[in-house]
Amino acid sequence: MPRQSIDIASFTHANPIPGASRLGPLLVSSVIAGRDPGSSTVPDSAEAQYVNLFHHIGQFLTAAGGDWRHVVRITFFVPDIAFRDACNPIWVEHFPDAASRPARHTQVISGSKLATCEFIAYIDD
């Protein structure tokens, strides 16, 4: 079963790594930054950074043949724990069914100025 690198136009890495990698039904992202799509600009607000993160995740899912129902876990890395609450509205928007939400973890990374994330999805159809 060959591994497939998944890249999208709205988010690229400077290093020679893909934004995500798919092996069979498993899709795992590299770290994704909350930059504006197609840019290196980072919005000032936590809310805007989360909007960008969810945009990029959605693009990766689509490029890999999946969608939001395939997400199993998202880990967010934030500069301050206060960023965590800013995720809740967009989280509920993408995962409205409380009985069917992916796992989520938020970890504080000292010295960072932006929110980043990584995700795992299982695309079996």
Please compute the mean of the pLDDT values over residues 79-97 and round it to a whole number.
95
How many domains, the chain? Answer: 1
Q: Please answer whether residues 115 and 78 qualify as being in contact, where contact means their C-beta atoms are separated by less than 8 angstroms.
A: yes
Per-residue pLDDT of 28-63, as tens digits, reads: 999 999 999 999 899 999 999 999 999 999 999 999
The whole-number average pLDDT for the span 89-111 is 96
Q: Categorize the per-residue pLDDT at 86 as very low, low, confident or very high, splitting at 50, 70 and 90.
A: very high
pLDDT confidence tier of residue 111, bands split at 50, 70 and 90: confident
Neighbours of 43 (CB within 10 A): 16
CA 7 – CA 27 distance, rounded (Å): 12
Q: Which residue stretches of the chain are H helix?
A: 46-63, 83-94
CATH of the domain at 69: 3.30.1330.40
Determine the structural domain holding residue 73 and report its residue range. Answer: 3-122
**pTM confidence score:** 0.95
Calculate the average pLDDT of the chain.
95
What pLDDT is stored for residue 1 in this prediction? 80
